[in-house]
Amino acid sequence: MQLIFHGHSTIQLNSNGKSLIVDPFLSGNQLAAVKPEDIKVDAVLLTHAHADHILDAAPISKANGAPVIANPELATYLTWQGVEQTIGMNIGGTVDLGFATAKMTHAFHSSGMIDEANKTVVYGGMPAGFIIKAEGKTIVHAGDTGLFSDMKMIGDMNEIDVVFLPIGDHFTMGPEDALQAAVWYNAKLVVPIHYDTFPPIKQDADAFVNKLEAKGLKGKVLKPGESIEI
């Protein structure tokens, strides 16, 4: 199985000729190494409704004929944007994609679309994370979130191979809280995400990984476009 980090919170999983992408934000990310039109996937998973997580969801879905998996409010909103295939689900539920399953977990954040022209905010449903299982492996995408103690429960209930954790601070956990989250998830590998894209979330990811290793945990910094095999 291949896991590709496309920058910010965008993760792509390739398994046995099939692929899914989580939170595609490429056209609006100057650090991204690929463009939306380069992405070939069978499913698009969204954790919440902020623009830096859904910006390229509709074009990627349309170009690939791939369903978008999201909470019901966001799934409905995307149908209004011309997405033909959506799967609305909610926290605690699991969707079977054939080549992988994705269970939606809770996250502590906000979620909505800002319409600057009309000065309105469209509610985007509850924010979430995903527990993705494929080829006997378990991958956690925590989504945008602050620290919460149920991360330990998720770690206790699952043998996690890789966890993707936000470390940017300001909008999500910072490095210190993410370090505690990593302890609770107890994954075989921790990959930091959601940092450096914008000035308020500049972080030293290498320093974070060094602190992980001091606690006996394994971490790895991935640059946009880099991948790992598990």
Q: What is the pLDDT of residues 147-195, one digit of tens each?
A: 999 999 999 999 999 999 999 999 999 999 999 999 999 999 999 999 9
Query: What distance in Å separates the CA atoms of residue 178 and residue 192, rounded to the nearest whole number?
Result: 9
Q: Six-digit token pair at 34?
A: 């690929």
Q: What is the pLDDT of residues 10-27, one digit of tens each?
A: 999 999 999 999 999 999
Q: Please state the domain extents for the chain.
A: 2-229
Residue with tokens 């993760």: 11
Q: Which amino acid type is present at position 1?
A: M
Angle at 74 (CA atoms; ends 37, 61), nearest 5 degrees: 20
List the beta strands (DSSP E) in the chain: 2-5, 11-15, 18-22, 43-45, 68-70, 86-88, 94-96, 101-106, 112-115, 120-123, 128-134, 137-141, 162-166, 189-193, 227-229
Which residues does the chain have with pLDDT short of 50?
none
**What is the CATH superfamily name and number for domain 2-229?**
Ribonuclease Z/Hydroxyacylglutathione hydrolase-like (3.60.15.10)
Q: Is the pTM of this model over 0.75?
A: yes
Select from 201, 136, 138, 125 the least CA-distant residue to 167.
Answer: 201
